[in-house]
Each structure stands twice: as C-alpha cells, then as structure tokens.
Amino acid sequence: MDAGDRRGLISVNRGLLRHPAVVGAGSAALVALLILNAVAFMRGLESPWLLGSVIVADMVVIGVGVLIAAREVLVAGDRVEATQAHLEAIVDSAMDAIITVDVSQKIVLFNRAAEQVFQCRRDEAIGSALDRFIPQRFRGAHRGHIEHFGKTGVTSRRMGDVTTLWALRAGGQEFPIEASISQAGEAGEHFYTVILRDITIRRQREDELKRREQELRDLSARVLEAREEEKTLIARELHDELGQLLTALKMDVSWLRERVVADAELSKKAVEMNAMLDETVSATRRISANLRPLMLDDLGLADAAAWLVEEFGKRSSIRCTYKEFGDGALDNVSKPVATTMYRALQESLTNIGRHSAAKNAWVMLGVEGNMVSLEVEDDGRGISPEDIAKARSLGLKGMRERITYLGGSFEVGRAARGGTRVHVKVPPGAAAVHA
C-alpha cells in the first residue's frame, strides 16, 4: 500500500464515517433494525417473509461492521508504520549520533550520524554489544554508571559538561566525545539512549590554544625575568657607580666650602650645593631601591618587605602594620618567589596609595602550610569587580600572571574592614612551574 492509499483511507476514516449526517443515518438504521428484530421475534412463523428479511438485514449489518473494523485495523497499522517511519527519519536527520541499548547493553537503535562517527554500518551495529564502541579501560566503569543511572536516574553525563569521555571507532581508533544519557520504559522493557558528539576537532583546537597560551606565558615570564635582571643591573650601577661619584663630589664640595669662608656669597653657594648633593644621593638611593632593593638579594624577602612597608608608611602618611609568621621559614624561598612576592607587595601598596583613600593598611607575610602567603588589606573605599576587569588594570593582571606562572594563587576583592584585600600564595621552591 503506497502513501496515496494510506492518505485515502485516513481521509475516509476521518471524513465520511465521522460526518454527523452519516452517524445519524447509521444510528437511525440500527434503531429501525432493532425494531424489526423485535417485531419479527414476536410474530415468529406467522410472517416468514419478515423473519427472513430481518435475518438477511442482520447478516448485512454484521458484514458491514466486520469490513469497517478490518479497515480500521488496517488504517491503524498504517498510522503506526507512518509514525515509526517519521520517527526514524527524524532520528536519522539528527546531527548528533544517537544510540539506544536495552538492559543487556545490546544496541537496538543506531542512526545515520552514529554510522559516520563510529565508521560502522547500522546492520552491523544493531544487536551487538555497546562495549565494542568503548575503550577497554572504560568498560567496567561505564557498566557501573549505567546500572547506577537505571536505579537512581542521576547521571553526571550531560552534553556540555567539562568531563571528556572517550569512544572507540570500528577500526580501533579512540576519539573524545561529549555525551548525554536518558532512559525510558516500554511494555515492561527498559532502554537507554545515548546522544553523543565527536569533539575531536574542538579538542585539538583547545589543546592548540592551551599550547599557545603556555608559550605566551613562558615568553611573558622570560620578559619579566629579563626586566628584573636589567633592573638589578641598573640599581647596582646607581648604587655603586653613581653613588660613589656623588659621595666623592660631596667630599669635594665640603673641602671647597671650608676654604671659601671669607667669601660669604661663595660659602652660601657651597652650602646650597652640599644640600643639593644630599638630596641627589637620597633620590639615587630611592630610585635604586625602587628598581631592585639590594637587601632583597643580600638580606632576603622578610627584611626587604619590612623595609618596603616602613618606607611606604613614611611617604604616604598611611598607618601600616606589618607582621611576619612562620618562624623564619621565609629564609628558604627561591629567588623567583622572593622577587614575585616583593613585587606583589609593592604593587599592592602602590594601589593603596593611589586609589584607596585608606587611613590604615595591614600586611602579613609568612609560610602557611606548604605555601608562602602574603596578605595585604586596607580600610579604604574598596575595589569593585568592574575595576578588576578594566583593560588598563595592567598591574593586577601582571601580578596574577607572575603568580600563576609559579603555580600559585592570586585573590583580590573586598576586605572585612570594607577596603581591598589581596591574598597571594606561592610554593616556596617554585622556579618555573607551569600552571
């Protein structure tokens, strides 16, 4: 029977037989037939012609009823076939692979996308075990997951989850997938349907993106390292070479001042020159310390941090409280960690001085567990998420990049006192740990 015949039967069934006039005429005919049957039964053999007519009419009605019932069964079967064909067409048109298995993990549905993904024909897949498409090392866990899902209805496998699953093509090649699972019962049977997506290309692009990010991170770390080396070199040149020259010049000016006492104007000028030299020496030391405090290399992180906090308090008029903890464990931190923690403290104090309008600042530095910990807090106006996300917040971004490269963590947000809190943790022996 073709599609046209099916549509004709359905049309007749839905149109003619259900038309009010036809239903009314049929009902009237049945009532009349019942009346004739009653009359014929009462008169019996007195009217043989009536009895015969009634019998013939009953047979005709029964025959028509049988034909209508047969046609209804045929139409219903065609409807089921048409619905099933439509469902199969919809499943086959899906872009994602769809596989349905029974409780014994035998495949009962395998759409066209699944054929392409697993490189296996449908007639070969139907009736076979689902294990053929699962790598050997995952089969036990998969069966356990299905059993748990069948009992509880709870699953961790949903499309878009971060978890990557692995499947096996017919040729033995493994590939990554995303998958979601559902279950349904029908006529006492239980079925599980898996909708899955081949994410091989996406996974390759993600891996390539991660590789490039790591390359950029390595390059950034190398640039920062070269910058620190250059700062150290310039700081030593300023401290040693320029400092010595300024000291010698100061001694010469003092010698000159002692010999021009008779000339008041020259003596006054010598005093001014001596004061200017003092300011120049102080500025040179300050610039040298800002570039790279020599005590960070000579005395260690703890002394350098204490000096930085003290100097910041003097220059900014913000009352600073500095506290160390960890019983001298800061003496064993590596040079990259010491530099990173010092720069994080320096950047945090600079931000407090520029943006916070704070009156107090608290700095805690020490070893917490197996991590070097730095916590800087103030009671100023605080920082908002929008400020952190600003494209020009390069200080915070650079700080985070340094710390992440060393395998540490960086947190910035609102403090309990209402201001800003910066919390940094880095492994003490980190040198070039990739995050």
Three-class secondary structure of residue 434 per DSSP? coil
Residues 148, 107 contacting (CB under 8 angstroms): no
Residue indicated by tokens 């060393």: 406
Beta-carbon contacts of 178 under 8 Å, excluding residues fewer than 6 positions away, are 159, 160, 161, 164, 165, 196, 197, 199
Tokens coding 338? 């010491």
Helix (H/G/I), strand (E/B), else coil: 211 = helix
- Residue 165 C-alpha from the chain's centroid: 16
DSSP characters for 303-351?
HHHHHHHHHHHHHH--EEEEEEESTTGGGG--HHHHHHHHHHHHHHHHH
CATH of domain 94-198: 3.30.450.20
What is the per-residue pLDDT across 368-417, written as a single tens digit (0 to 9) for each?
Answer: 888 899 999 999 888 877 776 665 666 777 788 888 888 899 998 888 88
Amino acid, single-letter form, for residue 18: R
- 3-state SS class at 196: strand
Taking a C-beta distance cutoff of 8 angstroms, is the pair 289, 304 a contact?
A: no
CA diameter of the chain:
172
The predicted-structure confidence for 138-164, as pLDDT tens digits, reads as follows 888 888 888 788 777 666 555 555 567
Q: Is 97:118 a contact under the CB 8 Å cutoff?
A: yes
Report the C-alpha gap between 337 and 346 in whole angstroms: 14
- H/E stretch holding 81: helix 48-93
Is-same-fold flag (94-198; 299-435)? Answer: no
Do the strands 319-325 and 360-368 form a parallel or antiparallel pair, or are they unpaired?
parallel
Between the alpha carbon of residue 303 and those of residues 294, 312, 341, 373, the distances in Å are: 11, 14, 13, 16
Task: Report the DSSP beta bridge partners of residue 319.
Answer: 360
Residue ranges covered by each domain of the chain: 3-92, 94-198, 201-292, 299-435
pLDDT of residue 19: 63
CB 324 within 8 A of CB 302: yes
Q: What does each C-alpha distance from 233 to 151, 292, 299, 368 come to in angstroms?
A: 69, 9, 18, 33
Q: Measure the CA–CA gap between 379 and 382, rounded to whole angstroms.
A: 8
The CATH architecture of the domain made up of 299-435 is 2-Layer Sandwich (3.30)
Phi and psi, residue 102, nearest 5°: -90, -170
157 neighbors 145 (Cβ within 8 angstroms): yes
What DSSP element (H or E) covers 6?
helix 3-15
Looking at the DSSP assignment, which residues form a beta bridge with residue 71?
none
Token pair listed for 311: 């100097």
Please state, in angstroms and rounded to a whole number, the distance separating the CA atoms of residues 182 and 202: 24
At 6 the pLDDT is: 45
* Per-residue tens of pLDDT for the chain, all 435 residues: 444 444 444 444 445 556 677 666 666 766 676 676 666 666 665 666 666 666 666 677 777 777 777 776 776 666 766 676 677 777 788 889 999 998 888 999 999 999 999 999 999 999 999 999 999 988 888 888 887 887 776 665 555 555 678 999 998 999 999 888 888 877 678 888 889 999 999 889 988 998 988 888 778 777 777 877 787 778 778 777 787 888 888 888 888 877 777 778 888 888 888 888 888 888 887 787 777 777 787 888 888 899 889 989 988 889 999 998 876 678 778 888 888 898 899 889 988 988 888 899 999 999 888 889 999 999 988 887 777 666 566 677 778 888 888 889 999 888 888 889 999 999 887 765 443
Find the radius of gyration of the CA atoms of the chain.
44
User: pLDDT at position 44, please?
Assistant: 60
3-state secondary structure of 35: helix
- Distance of alpha carbon 70 from alpha carbon 90, whole angstroms: 30
Is residue 246 within 8 Å of residue 270, measured between CB atoms? Answer: no
Report the DSSP pairing between strands 420-426 and 97-102: unpaired
Instruction: Check the CA dihedral 107-112-114-120 and report its sign.
Output: positive
The H or E element containing residue 11 is helix 3-15
C-beta separation of 393 from 323 below 8 A = no
SS3 category, 179: strand
Q: In terms of pTM, does the model score above 0.75?
A: no
Asked if 287 contacts 238 with a C-beta cutoff of 8 angstroms, the reply is yes
**Residues 336, 313, 354, 290: what is their CA dihedral angle, to the nearest 10 degrees?**
-40
Distance from the Cα of residue 213 to its chain's centroid: 16
Q: What are phi and psi of 428, to 5 degrees?
A: -65, -30
Per-residue pLDDT at 181: 85
Q: Which token pair is 98? A: 């769809």
